[in-house]
Amino acid sequence: MKFPGLLDVYIKNKEQDAEKAGKESAEKVTLIDGVLKEAGRAIQMLAEDGDLFSSPPPEGSSPNSFIESIARCRAFKNYVENKDGYRALNRSDGSKAKETEVQLFFGLIWHSSHFDVNRETNNGRGPVDFAISFGKKDKSLIELKLASSKSLKKNLENQLAIYGQANDTKFSIFLIVYYEERELRKIEKVLQDLQLKGSEKIILVDARKDNKPSASIATES
């Protein structure tokens, strides 16, 4: 109110930036549309990939959240590595899915699950990405990380143990997505240093796009 002239300057600046803003908005809409289409394709392909989404635990057996979590993590890994799912993460325009985006795609794996699936559950020591449970006594945790994370080693060393104590479970899984060869080398060194190499609780997902030739190219070569 003291400086009404500032409003005129603000409006003029916005008018000058209108074309740029419109272009950026259009690009974002295109990106979101592509992500949604890929998500729909992912759901369809995963639904056709056997009975993962429909089969209940065998009659007379007890559900096991850890076994179920391992199975779904491996299904996600298979989709990304062998069914072109990497395209949704490591995109043709050079952009790479952020950690929160990867979490959203991973959430598709739990469609029609017989287990209770909770995201960002916080029981006092910070939020864990996914808490999978079947009743109070059967609970497993899944933490999803990008290999590019600067805190990857620290997270692997401490995070899930702390979350496990807060959530009263010793069953936890780390799902790590990498986009480049150098990131793979980084992960392997970290796992070697922490003596975690070969652990079934660590699942690596190869989302590189430079090592996945099409079947036709592979056949011709």
Digit-coded pLDDT (tens) for 4-53: 788 878 877 777 766 666 666 666 565 556 666 666 666 666 666 555 55
CA trace torsion 148, 151, 155, 157 (10° rounding): 110
Q: What is the three-class DSSP state of 203?
A: strand
From residue 196, alpha-carbon distances to 76, 112, 162, 175 in Å are: 21, 32, 17, 13
Show pLDDT as tens, one digit a residue, over the chain (221 residues): 778 788 878 877 777 766 666 666 666 565 556 666 666 666 666 666 555 554 445 444 456 888 999 999 998 999 999 988 898 899 888 889 999 889 988 988 887 788 888 887 655 556 778 989 888 788 888 999 999 999 898 888 876 566 556 555 678 899 999 999 999 999 999 999 988 888 888 999 999 999 887 654 544 54
Fill in the amino acid letter for 18.
A
Give kind and range of the element (H or E) at residue 162: helix 160-167
Distances (CA, A) of 167 to 16, 70, 175, 176: 53, 18, 19, 21
Residue 47: CB atoms within 10 Å: 15
Q: Which residues contact 113 (CB under 8 A, 6 or more apart)?
A: 53, 68, 72, 132
